[in-house]
Structure 1
């Protein structure tokens, strides 16, 4: 099962096999109070959110995983949440999380799956397309970038590394750069807020196919966003609401159109970069069950928008994460599609009309 935009399928299976210990005494862990003991900057670096935001998040989800008592040295809700945030801030090793928080690896596995599901359930509240009253402001925000009219969002795909999922046809998850991945479609506004995330397609799927089968395409074609545009790269098909750059601009107005398009579309690339640097596990990839990987993608999208809503700055990378390595992994996750040679003359006329009547006057 996988996330299908705004629909969620929850799997209660664990990410690794339970560790069953026969004949060994039970190990009791002494846990550090990281929330109280760490200063604000260190906490921000290690958990990627400020203490105020973590407390706000805990209020929203703790009912899903709090215990009725503290028998058997149970892990408190705050420690469960910090364990998961620490996992998102790491290179994807559960052993690192278990050592840091003070718990067994099998316990860390169960907590990552459980708390991730709780955060992902907040998706409809934090990741949503613009309402009718927000469209003009969104267009104004994009217009301020480089004077491109009517744009409310930019679309692109980014690849999240996974281990081979096994099964009957694992090769469908191998992308054109040779590694296994999920191709995640994201749409963001000019302020780098995610408006829509589709996390269910294997790495061999091209970006255009994902958009063609997405709910957001149907919503645009049902005229839910009148007089509004999306921008995407040349791997997509041109539509009367979706514009791509010209492949061979010759005239001045064509070059101006392409320049404005590229500079406006840069926001989605920046959004992916901010998202993955805040949660480096997205750059490194995950050695978890496929369903849990999809849930982590959705959960971190929720947290990215929560951080934007709380006006948080981008945190510095943790000390155990290499900046150059993360930037390199982010860069190679941008697997551009082969340009789509669109034969829809009528739709191309729409783009040509915009270039002729608007960009010729700039």
Structure 2
């Protein structure tokens, strides 16, 4: 490979990493490493690509090689810290991040990474907060420093400060996907629509981020759960109104219309795709359909009060079981 070919290959590698095309980037960096096995920069780029692919052990190995080749390079130590944190080794991650701070104390990004890894280290939250504030002092116009303040504030359960910091982040960098995602979680409350809007924006900017998909799954669960609660309410009203009563069906129609207003068209496919993939939302969807059919039968069939309530009682055990399952799924650990 000629020097010109290497330059073009390096430029292509940089572009692939920026575009998030990590598989192609890994292939490209391996080709370059075959000719330059002692290039610390290439090992660092391999670590980035492996992180993007979810191979954190491989990312740590590549970052460690970069740090061994260039021990005074803070970037290599930051890469080690990130990989160690993903592997559930927060204390080692904090030591690696602290080494980057020691080598280059006047660079905000070193304090940002140090703060972000410290929040998971035992007793590290107070120091993480100080590191985040110091990063902002060093780089008040940097989106990353404000994001770090928001991230640490969120872990300190200081929602107000976190929201303000994420808003500043987005004012500087409107395409900061994680800030958009985290802000939507903090601001949306019980509003499905507000959370969906923020989530859709984050997924558009970074469609491969696993944390965003986990939030999307939880949001889809909530949509299905609300549809199920609406069907239960319709069934109870139908049981009360008796033969010929349309109140249950009217209630169900109004509830469904309100729910669909909170689910943007672009996110409805996510709900449809999510429900069959996991047992809990799949059973919720099935229970919703069954309860709607019971509500319809209770509303239009010529039944007396005892028969109506006996039919409505058919939904009792599934309701109790699904509610208990939902509570157990929310328990930490």
| TM-score > 0.5 by shorter chain | no
Larger Rg: 2
TM-score calculated relative to the size of structure 2: 0.25
| TM-score normalised by L of structure 1 | 0.24
Larger strand fraction of residues: 1
The structure, 1 or 2, with the larger RCO (C-alpha pairs under 8 Å, 6+ apart) is: 1
Answer 1 or 2: which has greater helix percent. 2
